Structure 1
Amino acid sequence: MRLIFATLLALLLGACATPETASPDSSGQVAAGASQPTEKIRSQPLKHLLGRTLKPMPDKALDVRTKCRFRDVAGGRGAMDLQVTKAEVKRFVAEVSIPKQGVCHFDMKYFKQTESFPNVVLTDGASGCVVRMWEQEKGVTVAFNACQSKCGGDAFSYLWPILVDTRNGRCT
C-alpha cells in the first residue's frame, strides 16, 4: 500500500514540475540544444482597415468662428460663441443646459490659454477646469475636463463635447 502511495505521489509531483527553460549566457547566446521560437510574431492590421490608405492629419493652426445654438435628442440645449484665429482664442462663451441635471457656464474671462498647437487648451487655474479644442476632418471638437465647478447640480456628469461643423458653423 505504501509503495502505491509513494508511486502516485511521485507521479503527481512530476506532473506539476515545469520544464527548464533555456536562458542566455553572459554573451547573450542561448546554449546549444535549447529550443528557440522560430517565427517572429507580427502585428496584423484590423480587418476594417485592410485596403484603406489612411493619411495623417495635417498639422495646422486652428481657425474656427461660430455663434451657434444646439439641441440634442435628450432635450439638452446650449449655445456657444467661439472665435479662434491662428490657434489663438479670441472669444469663447458657452452654456449647456441638461434637463433635470443643471447648467454649465464657460466664459473666456476665467480661462487662460496654455497651449495652442497641436490642440488649443484653455485652463482655469482657480478651478482646474480644462477646455481642449481640436480640428478633425470637417469639424472642431470642444471638450471639457475636470469642470465640475463650472456646472450646477450633476450636469458635468452628463456634459458631452460640443462639435462644430466648420463648413456651416453649426453646433451639435
Structure 2
Amino acid sequence: MKAYEIIDSMIDTLDIFLESDQNESDKENYEYIMNFLKEELEKKSSNIIKYIRNLSLEVEVLSQEKDRLEKLKKQKEKKINNLKKYLVNILLNLEKNKIETEIGNIGIRKSVAVGIDNLEIIPKKYIQKKVELIPDKRTLSELLKQGKNIKGAFLEYKYFLQIR
C-alpha cells in the first residue's frame, strides 16, 4: 500500500465508523483497523526516510564527483591554454603568422586589450558603477509580521522535514 492509500483508508474507516451504530463492537473494529493502518503508515514513513537518506548520500557523492570533475576540467583547460601560448611563442620565434600541417593549420592574430593594475588610481570618470537591487528581507519580514501591508511582498509559511 502506498502512503496516500493508507491515509485514504484511514479516512474511509472513519467515515464507515461514523455512519455505523458506534456500538462497542464497531469501536473495537475501528480502533483495530486504525491501529493497523497507523502501523503501516509508520512503516511506510520509515522506508521513505531510508530512501531519503540513500538519495542524500547519492547527492553528496555526486557533488564530490562534480567537484573532482570540475577540478580536472580546470586542469585540462589550463593545459590547453599553456599549449596555445607555447604555439604562439613558436610562431613568434619563427616570425610566421601561420603554419600548415597535415591535421590542421595554426595561425596568430594580434589584438589589443586593456589591463588594470590599480583600480583605485583610475580617474572616476572612467569607472562605471554596477547597481544591484536586493530586497531587505529581514526588515520586510519584521514589518509584515507587525501587520504592515507592503506591495509586492508577503509572508510565506513553509514546512521543512527534519530527519534525525
TM-score (normalised: structure 2):
0.21
Give the number of the structure whose residues are more often helix, by fraction.
2
Q: Which is higher, the Rg of structure 1 or of structure 2?
A: 2
The structure showing larger relative contact order (alpha-carbon pairs under 8 Å, at least 6 residues apart) is 1
